[in-house]
Each structure stands twice: as structure tokens, then as C-alpha cells.
Amino acid sequence: MPLVATLAYLGDHSASDARDRVYSLLGLVTERDRRLVGNPDYTQSVEHIYARLVQSFWNEYHSLDIICFTHLFNRYAGNLDQSGDREAVPSWAPDWRANVQPSPVPLMASQSANRHIGNFRPMNSKKYKAMYNASGYASTPRARVRFHENLGEMWCDGVVLDYIDGLGGLDECATRCRSTACANSGHSMIQTTQTEKTFKENGKMFLKLLSAIARSLDLNREDKFLSYVAPNAYTSDFLVLCYACLNSDRDIDPLFETWWEQNKSLLLGGWTLEAIVKTVVNTQDQRLFAALPPPTFRGNPSQQFAGSDNTEETDCLIERFYDTVQKRSRRLMLTNNVYIGMAPCRARQGDVVAILFGCSIPLVLRRVGVREAFQVVGEAYVDGFMNGEVRRLLHRGERDIKKFRLV
């Protein structure tokens, strides 16, 4: 079994010596992953061993995807932040001491296509047909990854895609978040700073925005194992759910209704989400819906799918919505340039959305210190930038390559 997937899946297990969170798995993992760890060395600190695993992972697989696991395994995990006797692991190295509820596919980096990370989807699961690859193919040589000799810092090249401007709310959504950072700040909606309308009322434009939100809520995947691209019918599902909220339908899914109340006033280009939905669903131009297939669910979606823990590959937006919002604790994200996506629940306004070369998933980073340095906050889904599209921005001169110093 792949080491990283196994470490994550055993996230709620304990070890009397935190170094054994890694060493105890050597008999279970692949030979290639055993080389990453090497022989057990109890003279090294826990922090050094966890950081060295990231360095070894890069050297072996030429991938930075392991960094994505800091989204869950970090110093703000509820069982870690209360203890003052622990040395902090660098923000770019997963702190495997964190107590995290296991999940077969905990992160986007755990996608079925990512063989060096792996996941715990059923053995008879269909072959994957989709892959996140935000930095693009052949980006690894451009990464120029370097680690400080004490493994307290690392450097790599990438692109600042944008900055977070607005964040959707998650209060009362019963998320799995146990972060002490969120316990202090909460998950209330953070309104965008851009209140002026940046485009005219336009049904076609508004439907495009709603489609981007629908893709964000399901991470543009049809199934919880992230194997297939989401169908266009999920946009139809989203419109049906929003319409039910507008009309106070008694059959509306309770979690979606709560999410709607938290987010309906969020501004997108100066327009509230509620105003955008009303414009689309009340349009007299039937051509607007010509390309949309029928919704995937029939009858009451709440009764059919809400919060299901089934292990089958599913095909309805509401199931994916539960997975993204409640189980993964992701919140709707708007950037300065009105890029739409999903951010970690502990993201803040002003955080950087970056694509690091060698990492298949965009990351939310936070600038810290007098000398420019960044801490890793977690994964981000950015609609329209999950498959190497950032290369177009570089080619057109709209973005520059930046060296990131991660601490």
C-alpha cells in the first residue's frame, strides 16, 4: 500500500512514540516507499523525520503532492495545538501526530489518478478517467525545489494565481473541522471587498458563474473517489436546489438550505448569489437552458442521498455537496479576479492562491514574517485552473514565476 495514503487513513490511531506513526508502517507499504523512510532512526526528532519524509518523497517521485496533506495534518489540529511541549513541524510538512478522522479519499491530492499517493477506494472500483494537474505536465523541472539543511525551510518555484477576496460561510453546516484556528475565528461568511458591479445583468454570464459554483461544490468530480469529471447535469441539480430554497420548498435538503442561507448574500462581481440565481431561474429566454441536461435526481434529493456513507460511485450533486462541504469542510472562495473555487475552512481574506510547480493541486498560502515567507494553509479548488491552464497566463505575460520560501 502507498505510505502517504496509509498514514492518512490511520490518522485517528495513536503511537506512544510519534516516530512510530511512520516506522510502524514499514511492513505494510511498498518497497519504493520503504526507501523513502529508510531504517528507523530514533536519534532524530519527530519534526525532522516528518520533514525529511517530504524531502525524500520529492527526491523519489519528483512530486510535491505530499504537501497537500498539511491541509489536515497540521499544528492546528485539536489534539496538537493545546500542548506547549511539542515543537512545531514546518507548515509544508504534514504533522502525522494530528488526530484526523479517516476517509478513503481525504483530499484532492488523494485522487485515484495519483498512484504515488494512493487512496482506499474499493478494489473493484472502475478505472479513473480524470486527473487534477494544476501545474501542468512537464512542470517538475521548473520547480527548482530546495530544502534547508536543517529542514526548517524549503524553496520552490510557482505562480501566484490570485488572492482570496471573499469566503462563503459554513456555520451550522456540521462540518468535520476540529481546527483550533477555526474554533477561535468561526466559519462565518466573509464578504468580498469589491462591491461595485463589474458586469451588467446577463443571463448567460450568470449561468456561467452558477456552473462554476456547481463545479466547485463537487470539485468537478462525479464520484467521491475523484475518478470521473462531473457531468453538466450537476449544474441543473444546483439550479433545482437553489430554486427550492428561493421558494421555501419543504422538501429541500436541510444541509443545502443551511448552506444557502449562509452564502446567498455573497457578492460575485458585485451581484449577490441570490440575485444571480433569481435572474437565471426567472429568465424568459429558454435558449439559456438549451444546453443543460435534466437533473440527475428524481423526487426529494434529501431522502435519497443526504449524508450517505455508501461506498458506491455516486452520480448526484447533493452527495458530492455533502462530501465537499460537510466531510471535507471546504468553503466557497472568490478571488480578486472573481475566480471561483473552494478553500480550506481556515483560509482568510488576503491569503495567496498559488500553483507550485510539481504539485497537482493549487494551494492556499499565507504570508508571514518580515522576510517574505509563506505558510501552507491547505488545498484549493480553482475552477478553470485545475489542468495546467496557468501556463497560458505565463505565456501571455499575465503572471510571473515566483520563488516561494515556505516555513
> What's the confidence (pLDDT) of residue 12?
87
Range 367-385 average pLDDT = 95
Tens-digit pLDDT profile for residues 138-150: 787 889 999 999 9
Name, of 12-16, 73-77, 271-275, the range with top average pLDDT.
Answer: 271-275
Would the pLDDT of 122 be above 80? Answer: no
Range 248-269 average pLDDT = 94
Would the pLDDT of 185 be above 90? Answer: no
Would the pLDDT of 82 be above 60? Answer: no
Tens-digit pLDDT profile for residues 53-74: 999 999 999 999 999 999 999 9
Count CA within 13 A, CB hemisphere, residue 140.
Answer: 10
- Tell me which residue has cell 443543460: 292
Amino acid symbol at 12:
D
Amino acid symbol at 345:
C
> What's the confidence (pLDDT) of residue 305?
47
pTM for this entry? 0.94
Q: How far apart are CA 354 and CA 291, in angstroms?
A: 33
CA 24 to chain centre: 29
For residue 215 the three cell numbers come to 463545479
C-beta of residue 403 within 8 angstroms of C-beta of residue 153: no
> What's the confidence (pLDDT) of residue 298?
55
> What's the confidence (pLDDT) of residue 83?
54
> What's the confidence (pLDDT) of residue 118?
85
> What's the confidence (pLDDT) of residue 128?
82
Range name among 122-136, 152-166, 236-250, 274-288 with the lowest pLDDT average? 122-136
Q: How far apart are CA 385 and CA 399, in angstroms?
A: 13
Q: Can you spell out the DSSP letters for 63-84? A: --GGGGGGGTSSTTSTTTTT-T
Q: How many residues does the chain have?
A: 407
Q: How confident is the model at residue 84 (pLDDT cuts 50, 70, 90)?
A: low
Q: How far apart are CA 8 and CA 2, in angstroms?
A: 10
Local structure of 178: helix, strand or coil:
coil
> What's the confidence (pLDDT) of residue 310?
52
Domain boundaries, the chain: 158-406
> What's the confidence (pLDDT) of residue 400?
97
Q: How far apart are CA 148 and CA 352, in angstroms?
A: 23
Tens-digit pLDDT profile for residues 289-330: 888 898 886 545 555 444 445 555 556 899 999 999 999 999
Amino acid symbol at 256:
F
More confident residue, 12 or 386: 386
